[in-house]
Structure 1
Amino acid sequence: MKTIADIAKIAGVGKSTVSRYLNGGSVSEATKRKIEQAINETGYTPNPFAQSLKAKKTNFIGTIVPRLDSYATSRTLIGIDEQLKQLNYQLLISNTSQHIEREIETIYNLASQKVAGIILLATQITKAHLEAFKKVKIPILLVGQEHPSVHSLIHNDYEAAYEIGKYILQKGHRKIAYLGVTEKDVAVGVKRKEGFKRAIEEVESCEVRYFETDFNMFIAQEKASKMLEEYQPTVIVCATDNIALGALRAAQLKGLSIPKDISITGFGGYDVTEIIHPGLTTVKFFFKEAGKMAAQNIVKLVNEEAIAKRTLSNFQIIERESVDNLNRCSL
């Protein structure tokens, strides 16, 4: 593999001259022809990462994710990557394993590598985040969370939860368990619960109990199992598909038939919800499409184009076999 030193030797110029040419600097026409001829003869290809680090403006977009073993994250990243390639940008991925301190540190690290912009798949936005955004002075786009001072692309968690709430109420359910997550996560922990509560407030004689668990399906299974020992709802509305999978397993281990004995809904639209039995009724978010929108938006910000402060992605309720129609049962 040829190097800048090899090109410089063949062209009869200094390495700094070759480097200046490769980075768009000023060189004479005669020198440019010599360097181009040497490059053509050797088939030399510049290292885009090393080259971009020397440039004032790179074509790298840093994307920070809380975890890699997530359907939502992987689909979002696929969308981001595909769209960035079409826009002649490259993706750098950094996983924080859901550690807030590491997330903040990564913002500064990516900025020091002179990425053109950062897409942050955030779980929460703290004062430390906002301070980092101000200090790095590069375009930032939040995905999944929002803050009034930062551009964001969010799933329509509130309206989606409202719609799934209306759906289970229309099916005749009035004794309900809502299995959510910590309210530190505004999108999943707060917005989804608030949207669901709005639907509940529109009907009378409805008993609802709210429980909190973790995003992990095994922890959700344990929580759902304990919950079912103290409360016997007709439906469990879960804040994510992983939680719903845990609840489904807990119910089955207790000998309950789904949906005959208890109904379950999820949130996300993961592929596995379609192939399990019974198929899970869920709110489908279009993560890949959201990733493409995120890529388009960050590139616009990098190029100093105006975009809306807040962009909403689409959702759809997918009706499968996990929810019983109690209205039909009462006929």
Structure 2
Amino acid sequence: MPTIKDIAEMANVSRTTVSRVLNNSGYVSEEVRKRILKIIEETGYVPSEHAKSLRTKQTKVIGVILPKISTETSSRLVSGIDEVLAEKGYQILLANTNLEKEKEIEYINLLKVRQVDGIILVATNINNDLVRVIHQLNIPLVVVGQEIPGVSNVLYDDYSAAREITSLFIKRGHKKIAFIGVDESDRAVGYLRKKGYLDVMAEHGLPVENEWVQKGVFDIESGYEAMKRIMENAKSRPTATFAVTDRLAIGAMKYLKEKGYSLPEEMALAGIGASEISNYVTPTLTTVDYLNKDAGREAAKLILNHILQNDKSIKKITLNYRLLIRDSI
């Protein structure tokens, strides 16, 4: 087993620098931090004091990796996780990737060397490197929001929710329905929600113009710009728009209002997320409530089951959702 001195020599840094990375304290440049974490991952290094702790007792700490700590979704998830874990005397150690997919692997490695008892990963982009690191992990892990084979997952029914929103537009008489999505490397939000929309349109024999389908990046401004591209470039103006998040939908709403369109008479809108602001914009936004706090509770129950019962079976939980029909349709 390598020592902290070995890691320092391989990384060409001091032992103090390695210690700072392990303890997440003090300044270390991003390039050096990544180099040290990569060596730790490749060598399987475990600090001696943590190894001793592992042999005698649990740390009673669960690492929770979030894509964006400031969102309502993250807040609700953490609330549900903490509610369940606190009852069993566990604490949470939060890590924020800020939607930078490479940081998911970095934080998994960092939490591993900190010897947390388990990890709950709220994943965004699934790639081969992430899957490899997860499968090599020797501590329990639960993934929320994306399906990764070989580990327990808590999932949202993204495909069905997208189908239901698109079908609702059609039932209300809309035939020209636009779509604002995100990159399909995010399988749940980018791929499955788009597939639900496209499948329903195809089943009803409704055309989808290329200009009606635009991408954003999870913020209001990109929803604004996507709606602008739709309205300025489409050969035929749509009468409804499905955005895969409330933020994108609210950005689209802002553009439409600035240009004088009447909502929902000239453009109906819907999003996903049931954000607090969705019930305060005018018109109030039709959306989907994914019951994120319930997702947090289920993820916490799964991780505790893996830890306390030594249950190595793989579980997949798909949660229900609520469609909230409001004034924007």
Separation in 1, partners of 2:53, 2:296: 24
Map 1:39-188 to 2 at 5 A: 55-188=56-189
1:307–1:195: structure 2 CA closer, same or farther, 3 Å change rule? farther
Deviation of 1:223 (Å): 2.1
Q: Which moved more, 1:157-166 or 1:132-141?
A: 132-141
Identity of aligned residues (%): 35
Report what 1:248 is aligned to: 253
**Do the aligned residues in 2 keep the contact of 1:174 with 1:207 (CA within 8 Å)?**
no
Would you say 1:284 and 2:285 are equivalent positions? no
After TM superposition, the structure 1 stretch with the greater mean CA deviation from structure 2, 294-303 or 94-103, is 94-103
Task: Name 2:231's counterpart in structure 1.
Answer: 228
Counterpart in 2 of 1:21?
Answer: none
Task: Return the match for 2:315 from 309, 312, 323.
Answer: 309
Give 2:32's aligned residue. Answer: none
CA contact (8 A) 1:60 1:91 kept: yes
- Measured in 1, the distance between the counterparts of 2:258 and 2:158 equals 30
From 244, 261, 265, the counterpart of 2:266 = 261
Which range moves more in the overlay, 308-317 or 159-168?
Answer: 308-317
| Number of equivalenced pairs | 274
- Offset at residue 114 of structure 1 (A): 1.0
1:217 to 220, 238, 242: 220
CA deviations on 1:223-257 (whole Å, 9 max, x unpaired) are: 21122112221001101111001000011111111
Tell me the equivalent position of 1:321.
327
Residue 201 of structure 1, CA deviation: 2.1
Q: Which amino acid aligns with 1:293?
A: E
1:315 shift after superposition = 0.6
Shift of 1:147: 1.4
Would you say the 8 A contact 2:140–2:306 is kept in 1?
A: yes
Displacement of 1:211 after TM fit? Answer: 1.3
SS across alignment from 2:271: strand
2:77–2:295 contact (8 Å) kept in structure 1: yes
Equivalent position amino acid for 1:96 in 2: T
Q: Distance in 1 between matches of 2:316 and 2:252?
A: 33
Question: How far does residue 195 in structure 1 lie from its aligned partner after superposition?
Answer: 1.4
Distance in 2 (CA, whole Å) between partners of 1:58 and 1:314 is 33
* CA displacement, residues 154-179 of structure 1 (integer Å, 9 cap, x when unaligned): 11101111111111111111011111
Shift, 1:273, TM fit: 0.7
TM-score between the two structures when normalised by the length of structure 1: 0.79
1:18-43, Cα deviation, whole Å (9 max, x unpaired): xxxxxxxxxxxxxxxxxxxxxxxxxx
Q: Residues 82-129 of structure 1: CA distance to partner in whole angstroms, max 9, x if unpaired?
A: 111112211110111122222211101101111111000110122221
Unaligned runs of 5+ in 1: 1-48, 324-331
CA contact (8 A) 1:241 1:282 kept: yes
Supply the distance in 2 between the matched residues of 1:168 and 1:257 (Cα, whole angstroms). Answer: 17
Partners in 1 of 2:56 and 2:116 — Cα distance? 10
How many angstroms apart in 2 are the aligned matches of 1:182 and 1:213?
A: 8
Partner in structure 2 of residue 271 of structure 1: 276
Code of the residue aligned with 2:230 in structure 1: it is M
Could you list the runs of 5+ residues in structure 2 that have no partner in the other structure? 1-49
Secondary structure at 1:237's aligned position in 2?
strand
RMSD: 1.9
